[in-house]
Amino acid sequence: MGRIRQYIEVGDKEHWTLFDSGARNTYVTKEVAANLPRFQLDTPNQVALGGKVHYVNEDCRLVCKIKGYQIRANVLVLDSIGKDDDGKPIEVLIGALTMQNWGIALIPEKEDIDLSNYPKEFVEF
């Protein structure tokens, strides 16, 4: 399990992001989701994240740039994700499924991410 923190671009703003291979899904705060296409869920989902139970009532379509690469994902919207180890509020949490879909690998020893496996084409079998 690894965790890397850095800024990503969503629209014309940068947001503090945690890349967490221990989290399955990707999450954004309501502030980040405010300018994204949002959708109400038929039934609220419970999510245990950061030692707290969250109730998710909506999801949204995240389009962002990470190190210049465009990433798209359906994400869950939370009131708050929590703070990182330095006490800085996390605005986006990129989980394992999004990292797998877009070829994002964590490099813990450098506290960085690797996008050398970013898909240049999508081939389905």
- Structural domain boundaries in the chain: 3-92
Give the model's pLDDT for residue 22.
92
> How confident is the model at residue 120, as a pLDDT?
83
Residues with pLDDT less than 50, the chain: none
17 within 8 A of 92, measured Cβ to Cβ: yes
pTM over 0.75: yes
pLDDT at 2: 61
Written as six digits, the tokens of 20 are: 């967490």
Instruction: Say if domain 3-92 classifies as CATH 3.30.420.40.
Output: no
pLDDT of residue 3: 83
Please tell me the predicted confidence (pLDDT) of residue 57.
Answer: 96
Which pair of structure tokens corresponds to residue 89?
């509020």
